[in-house]
Amino acid sequence: MTEQITKSIMIKATPEKAFSVLSNFFDYPKFIQEIQSVQPVSGDRTRWKVDGPLGKSMEFDLETTRFDPNQRIGWSTKDFEGDLTTSGQIVLAQLPDMQTEVTITMNYEAEGFSGLLSRGAESKIEKLLRNFKAYIEGMPERFEI
């Protein structure tokens, strides 16, 4: 059975700044503690190594399925072997006063081993969004000279 989670947060950053951070998967370990590493595989495919249950590491390949600059990033793991089956998207919506709403929608398998991994998925997504907010709002602004 496939489950879906949708969570949003408002951040003090433009969609351009948020997208530049979110589209660089290799920096995700800086604000998502459970991600050990992200490595390029080929094209739109990356290999992720993350903390799993019972202190075990998990690996899976992720394909970027949608890439609309400053608006949306979509992903899927379902066509690859790995410890996790998920798909979803991150959508950025510009708000007044240089703010952005970041919305994550994630679909995941809620049965078998994947179900065990997905326990607490909603709170994990909320934590991810809070960590991203703290990370991006703490980044120094660059000034043109």
Q: Where are the domains positioned within the chain?
A: 2-32+64-137
Distance of CA 50 to CAs 10, 53, 78, 141, Å?
A: 26, 10, 17, 30
What phi and psi values does residue 31 have, to the nearest 5 degrees? -130, 0
Supply the angle between the helices 15-22 and 121-137 in degrees, to the nearest 10: 120
Q: Which pLDDT does position 121 carry in this prediction?
A: 79
At residue 68, does pLDDT exceed 80?
Answer: yes
The token pair at 64 is 């970027």
At residue 1, does pLDDT exceed 60?
Answer: yes
Confidence of residue 144 (pLDDT cuts 50, 70, 90): very low
Q: Which pLDDT does position 113 carry in this prediction?
A: 47
For the chain, what is the mean pLDDT? Answer: 87
- Per residue in 70-91, pLDDT tens? 999 999 998 777 777 889 999 9
- Is the CB of residue 80 less than 8 Å from the CB of residue 87? no
Helix (H) or strand (E) holding 139: none
Q: How would you class 99 by CB atoms within 10 Å of its CB: exposed for 0-12, middle for 13-18, buried for 19 or more? A: middle
pTM for this model (two decimals): 0.85
Q: Which pLDDT does position 117 carry in this prediction?
A: 52
- Per residue in 8-64, pLDDT tens? 999 999 999 999 999 999 999 998 988 999 999 999 999 999 887 777 888 889 999
- Is the CB of residue 120 less than 8 Å from the CB of residue 52? no
At residue 138, does pLDDT exceed 70?
Answer: yes
Architecture in CATH of 2-32+64-137:
2-Layer Sandwich (3.30)
